[in-house]
Each structure stands twice: as structure tokens, then as C-alpha cells.
């Protein structure tokens, strides 16, 4: 064998080794498994969330983004070996970011309903909780959703709670979130607000006594991670991660931390 041919074969062998090494490094790198999921950024799960909706997504005393939904989706990303990036936005614009492809998923207590299912893909639910009508302690005029007819309520116009209030015949005052709804209710500018029961219970626990009460509630609603119809592979991976996290007790542990009970099923 000539020296020239030997050198060429040696170079080819070295190239093959380097290629295998590169592939191995790439597959073991954080986020390497996300290239086939249609992510906005390769290897990174980009998540839309409000950051102002305690206890689901909010900032702690140090300014860090925390909350029940935040920890759930962080655990999912870790299970899928993906990096995670949060993009905070007001609820009224949260679906626009998803539609435009600026984010991959929403993790923000998005309730599953037929209208949304017609347009989006949902993961398995990770929260099961009823919607409630919240009123002042002294108000006995509302004891059911039917009693909201003609009453002033404070709701975000793109929320599932708005739909419930509207269907009941309420006169809806548009607001941006729970804190504003509570403020209007305590000032007497509205007579009620519809929201998630867990939100109210956390508010009572952290700010009570609040002078407010639950007047009525629905059957439990289910909330899940949501993405666009084109990301079926991604939602299937998220479902698999949620199954694993449910089985190993992670979901229950996060739920107990925020609510003192397992609200994941």
C-alpha cells in the first residue's frame, strides 16, 4: 500500500471518529432531543405565561418567576431534556403569540373547552378544579350562576370565566387579571367575579381575611398545556412526560406544595 493511500485512509478514519464524537456530543447536550418537535428555537421549549396569576404563575419576593404551572412545565422540559424559556404576556394576548409561532406552548391554567379544542391541541390535564363565583361576604343575593343575570362582574374578555359569566347573563366589566377583579369587587364597583377556585383559596390563604366568599361553583374544569394543531409530535411528547411525572409522584408533590392537596386528577 502506498504512503499516499495510507495517509488518505487515515484521514478518512479520523474524520469518521470526529463525526461520531460530534454526534455523540450533540445527542447528549441539553435540548438535543427537540429538533424534531417543530420548536421555535431548537432544543428550547418556549412557554407563554402571565407571570401575574398567583399561585399558578407569578414572581416571588426575589423577582423570580415561580408558581404551580411554572414548576409543572419546568418538570416537563427537564423530562424531555429541553431547555426552557418563558415569555411573559398578558392573558388577552397570550394566544396571539402561540398563533404567530413566537412560543411553542402556553402554560397558564388554560381550561379545555370545545371552542379551544377546535383550534388547538391540548395535553393531558394537570389541574382539575371548579370555576367559582366570588362575592362579598355580606352579599346573599347570589347563590348560583343563574343569579349573575343582570349583575356586574369583572372578567378578562378572553378567559373561560368570561364565557361563563356572559352565558349567565352578567354585565361584564373587562379587566386584565385576578388582582384587578378583586379590587373592583372590594370597592363595590362590581358585584361578583368568576375565577378558578384554587386562585380564590390561595388568595384567602395569603391575604385573608378578605371579606369575600364563594357563592357558587361549577363542576370541575380541566386545565392543560396548549399548543397549535401543527405540533402533534410535541404534545405527544408532553403527554408522555406528564404520565411519567404523575407516576413518579412529581405532579402530586408540586400540587401539595401550592395547594396542600393533589389537584392533578
Question: Mind listing the pLDDT tens digit for each residue in 123-163?
Answer: 999 999 999 999 999 999 999 999 999 999 999 998 889 99
The model's confidence at residue 243, banded by pLDDT at 50, 70 and 90, is: very high
* Distance of alpha carbon 15 from alpha carbon 107, whole angstroms: 44
71 and 89 belong to one structural domain: yes
CATH number of the domain where residue 176 is located = 3.40.190.10
In a domain, 52, yes or no: yes
Percent of the chain scored above 90 by pLDDT? Answer: 79
Q: What angle do CA 168, 173, 176 make, to 5 degrees?
A: 115
Same domain membership, residue 90 and residue 62: yes
Do 139 and 61 belong to one domain? no
- Residue 50 CA to residue 93 CA, distance in Å, equals 10
Distance (Å, whole) CA 222 – CA 182: 23
Co-location of 82 and 97 in the same domain? yes
C-beta of residue 151 within 8 angstroms of C-beta of residue 65: no
pLDDT of residue 33: 52
Instruction: Please tell me whether residues 155 and 217 are part of one structural domain.
Output: yes
Task: Examine the domain organization and report whether 73 and 111 are in the same domain.
Answer: yes
pLDDT for 34: 57
Measured CA angle at 68 (ends 204, 157), to 5 deg: 70
Partnered with residue 171 across adjacent β-strands are 152
Average pLDDT over residues 7-22: 40
How confident is the model at residue 207, as a pLDDT?
87
Are 84 and 47 contacting, i.e. CB atoms less than 8 angstroms apart? yes
Q: How confident is the model at residue 17, as a pLDDT?
A: 37
What are the distances in angstroms from CA 171 to CA 157, 163, 180? 12, 12, 16
For residue 111, give its domain range.
33-127+223-259
Alpha helix stretches (DSSP H) within 29-159:
68-79, 94-99, 114-117
**Quick one: pLDDT band at residue 35, thresholds 50, 70, 90?**
low
Residue 9 in any domain: the answer is no
Is residue 19's pLDDT more than 90?
A: no
In a domain, 164, yes or no: yes
Residue 256 has pLDDT above 60, yes or no: yes
The reported pTM is 0.74
pLDDT > 70 in the chain, percent: 87
Is pLDDT at 5 greater than 90 in this prediction?
no
- Residue 94 in any domain: the answer is yes
On whether residue 189 sits in a domain, the answer given is yes
Cell, residue 81 = 431534556
| Cβ–Cβ < 8 Å for 142, 151 | yes
Look at residue 249 and tell me whether its pLDDT is greater than 90: yes
**156 is a domain residue:** yes
Residue 19 lies in a domain: no
Pairing of strands 127-136, 212-228: antiparallel
Number of neighbouring beta carbons within 10 Å of residue 145:
22
Q: Which residue has the higher pLDDT, 97 or 158?
A: 97
For 195-238, the pLDDT digits (tens) are 999 999 889 888 888 999 999 999 999 999 999 999 999 999 99
Q: Is residue 161 situated within a structural domain? A: yes
How far apart, in whole angstroms, are the C-alpha atoms of residue 178 and residue 196?
10
Q: Hey, what's the cell of 10? A: 487515515
Give 49-94 pLDDT, tens digit per residue.
Answer: 999 999 999 999 999 999 999 999 999 999 999 999 999 999 989 9
Residue 28 is predicted with a pLDDT of 34
Same structural domain, 157 and 136? yes
CA-to-CA separations, 216 to 56, 109, 148, 181, 248, in angstroms, rounded:
22, 20, 10, 17, 35
Cell numbers of 34, please?
427537540
Q: Is 116 exposed, middle or buried (0-12, 13-18, 19+ CB in 10 A)?
A: middle
Q: How large is the average pLDDT for residues 10-20?
A: 40
Of 28-42, 49-63, 169-183, give the lowest mean pLDDT range. Answer: 28-42
Same domain, 52 and 93: yes
- Counting every residue written for the chain, the total comes to 265
Q: What is the pLDDT of residue 177?
A: 86
Q: What crossing angle do the helices spanning 197-207 and 250-259 adopt, rounded to 10°?
A: 50
Same structural domain, 122 and 228? yes
Give 92 or 190, the one with higher predicted confidence: 190
In the predicted structure, residue 164 carries a pLDDT above the cut 50: yes
Note whether 134 and 216 are same-domain residues: yes
Residues 6 or more apart whose CB falls under 8 angstroms from that of 40 comprise: 46, 101, 102, 103, 104
Counting the structural domains of the chain, the total is: 2
The reply to whether 49 and 77 lie within a common domain is yes
Do 151 and 210 lie in one domain? The reply is yes
Amino acid at each position: 500500500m502506498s504512503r499516499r493511500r495510507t495517509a488518505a485512509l487515515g484521514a478518512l478514519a479520523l474524520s469518521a471518529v470526529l463525526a461520531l464524537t460530534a454526534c455523540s456530543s450533540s445527542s447528549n447536550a441539553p435540548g438535543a432531543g427537540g429538533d424534531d418537535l417543530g420548536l421555535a428555537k431548537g432544543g428550547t421549549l418556549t412557554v407563554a405565561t402571565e407571570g401575574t396569576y398567583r399561585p399558578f404563575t407569578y414572581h416571588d419576593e426575589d423577582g423570580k418567576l415561580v408558581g404551580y404551572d411554572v414548576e409543572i412545565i419546568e418538570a416537563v422540559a427537564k423530562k424531555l431534556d429541553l431547555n426552557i424559556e418563558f415569555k411573559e404576556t398578558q392573558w388577552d394576548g397570550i394566544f396571539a403569540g402561540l398563533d404567530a409561532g413566537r412560543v411553542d406552548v402556553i402554560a397558564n391554567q388554560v381550561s379545555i373547552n370545545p371552542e379551544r379544542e377546535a383550534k388547538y391541541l391540548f395535553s393531558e390535564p394537570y389541574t382539575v378544579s371548579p370555576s367559582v363565583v366570588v362575592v362579598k361576604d355580606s352579599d346573599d343575593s347570589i347563590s348560583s350562576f343563574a343569579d349573575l343575570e343582570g349583575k356586574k362582574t369583572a372578567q378578562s374578555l378572553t378567559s373561560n370565566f368570561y364565557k361563563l359569566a356572559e352565558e349567565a347573563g352578567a354585565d361584564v366589566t373587562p379587566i386584565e387579571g385576578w388582582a384587578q377583579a378583586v379590587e373592583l369587587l372590594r370597592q363595590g364597583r362590581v358585584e361578583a367575579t368568576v375565577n378558578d377556585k384554587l386562585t380564590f383559596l390561595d388568595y384567602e390563604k395569603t391575604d385573608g381575611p378578605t371579606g369575600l366568599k364563594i357563592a357558587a361553583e361549577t363542576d370541575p374544569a380541566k386545565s392543560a398545556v396548549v399548543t397549535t394543531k401543527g405540533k402533534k409530535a410535541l404534545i405527544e411528547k408532553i403527554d408522555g412526560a406528564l404520565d411519567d411525572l404523575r407516576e413518579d409522584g412529581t405532579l402530586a408533590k408540586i400540587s401539595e406544595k401550592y395547594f396542600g392537596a393533589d389537584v392533578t386528577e
